[in-house]
Structure 1
Amino acid sequence: MKKIITILLFCITSHYTFAQNQIEMATGLRSSGKIYVVVLVLLTIFVVLGVFLFMLDKRIKKLEK
C-alpha cells in the first residue's frame, strides 16, 4: 500500500512540475485542438491493451484448470 501511495505522489508531483514547463509542441497542439486527438488515440490504445490483457488472463486461468 505504501508503494502505491508513493508512486501516486511521485506521479502527481512530476505532473505538476512538467505542467509548469510550457512545451511549445503541446502549446501548439492545444491551440489547434489536435491535443484531444492525441489523448483520444492514447486512451484507445490503453483501453484495448487492458481488455486484451484481461481476456488473456481469463484464457490462462481456464487452461490452468
Structure 2
Amino acid sequence: MNMLSYVASVVLQVPDKGPEMATLMRSNGKIYVVVAVIVVIWLGVLLYLISIDRKLSQLEKAEKEKNRTRQTPTSVV
C-alpha cells in the first residue's frame, strides 16, 4: 500500500511552471535550430540505413548467384 501511495503522490503532483528552457528557446528562435539539427541527424541515419540495405541486397544477390553456379552440374565431354 505504501508503494501505491508513493506512486499516486508522484503522479498527482502539479508543476508550478511550464518548461522554461523550451519557452526561452522558442522566444529566441533557437528552437528551430534544434529541430533542424534533429531532422538532419534523422535524415543522415535514414540515408545510412538505405545505403546499408542496398549493399546488403547486392551481397545477397552475389551470394545467391555464387551458390547457383556451384549447384549446376558441369557436363563432362
In structure 2, C-alpha distance between the alignment counterparts of 1:33 and 1:57, rounded to whole Å: 37
Query: Counterparts of 1:56 and 1:30 in 2: how far apart (Å)?
Result: 37
**In the alignment, what sits opposite 2:37?**
41
Instruction: State the TM-score, normalized to the length of structure 1.
Output: 0.65
Distance 2:18 2:36 in 1: 21
User: 4+ residue stretches of structure 1 with deviation over 6 A?
Assistant: none
Question: Number of matched residues?
Answer: 45
Q: Which amino acid aligns with 2:55?
A: R
Using CA pairs under 8 Å that are at least 6 residues apart, name the structure with larger relative contact order, 1 or 2.
Answer: 1
Identity of aligned residues (%): 44
Q: TM-score, normalised by structure 2?
A: 0.55
Q: What displacement does 1:23 show?
A: 1.1
Greater fraction of residues in helix? 1
Larger Rg: 2
CA RMSD of aligned residues (A): 1.2
Corresponding residue number in structure 2 for 1:16: none
Equivalent residue in structure 2 for 1:54, among 47, 50, 53: 50
Which amino acid in structure 1 is aligned with residue 32 of structure 2? Answer: Y
Q: Which runs of 5+ in 2 are unaligned?
A: 1-16, 62-77
Instruction: Measure, in 1, the Cα distance between the counterparts of 2:57 and 2:50.
Output: 11
Matched AA of 2:22: A
